[in-house]
Amino acid sequence: MTEELDDLRGLARTFAEKEIKPNVERFIANKQVDRELWTKAGEIGLLCLSIPEEYGGSGGTFAHEAVLIEEQGRVGDSSWGASLHSGIVAHYLLAYGTEAQKREWLPKLASGESVAAIAMTEPGTGSDLQGIATKAIRDGDEYVVNGAKTFITNGYQADVVLVAAKTDPDEAASGISLVIVPTDTSGFKRGRVLDKIGMKGQDTCELFFDDCRVPASNLLGEKEGDGFIQLMTQLPQERLIVAVACVAAMEFVLEETLQYVHSREAFGRPIFKFQNTKFELAEIATEARVARSFLDECIELHVEGELDIPTAAMVKYWCSERAMKVADQCLQLFGGYGYMEEYPVARVFTDMRVQQIYAGTTEIMKEIISRSLPTPS
């Protein structure tokens, strides 16, 4: 942390307390955040914190993005998809977009005028991105996009979507490209907002593309077929974002549980006075601290440009698994009330389950890590 990051934390904390915390239940009921939340965040500079100022961002680093994610987690919110908007989609545009693409979209993302999503997963394709069926076929000066995507965060509110599609259907990885599709394009349709067991306030939905025609200049990158490499290159940051959210959730649910066990009584004394409660909380506090230490190391590495793919897989795997374990332990300490949705611990429990799935499953993370292990001589 630096003085600049401390100042940002103060701003982010005030915003989260004022604009997010009082509305968490309503976001969940509506299956989406208020659209004005994006523009309010943009007005005070909380979007695209790590995008250069020349494109409307704040010119910070990933550490700035991490601060905002932590403050969102501190108020128990999982509905606002700002980390995907700013930390993922904006960085695809920054890293691979043409100058015209960056100047068209990044200022709109930074101001909140436009909400961004990225569409990779399909009804029949999850972790194996090489098997996607959505196509973007060149027709003169346009690409014609056809296909379906599912589990798309920010999908219902998105104004622009980066679509992973096959520009060469006969190829696997080398046939994938990313194409920028504005959601006002003819032939673009949104499906229902999906009913999930957790993260119920996120507008996760299905997207459909029926002969969507976009200019050929909407191809992201210098040439067709670069999409798979682009995705693999950007995934470490996405996995680090998941780890930040997981550790923030661990710290939040620990604080909530400490307050509960000191105020709730059983057999004439606070629950905290029981040895089992003390031992469980000691374990939870240790888990959270170890995860925080590893996460902070990885953030430092990433800011210096030194976070490699296996280490990113490690921090995503470790923090998501630990967060689920901690959420389960904390829920148990709440007893029957932990099973009630009005208690934040119940939301954390269901929210954490998907962290082991998206941005690469735990099993995929272990596979990536195993490939980096040295072979004995």
Alpha-carbon span 37 to 191, nearest angstrom:
23
Sequence-distant (≥ 6) Cβ neighbours of residue 70 within 8 angstroms: 9, 244, 247, 248
* Of 252, 248, 246, 254, the residue nearest 330 (C-alpha): 254
Amino acid, res. 257: T
Return all residues near 274 (Cβ < 8 A) that are at least 6 apart. Answer: 266
Residue in 65, 70, 238, 280 annotated catalytic: 238
Rounded CA gap, 25 and 201, in Å?
Answer: 8
Could you give the CA distance from residue 149 to residue 163 in angstroms, rounded to a whole number?
9
Write the burial class of residue 195 (CB in 10 Å: 0-12 exposed, 13-18 middle, 19+ buried): exposed
| Nearest alpha carbon to residue 145 among 153, 133, 156, 155 | 133
Residue 130 corresponds to which tokens in the numbers above? Answer: 């090489």
Active site residue 341: no
Residues recognised as catalytic = 238
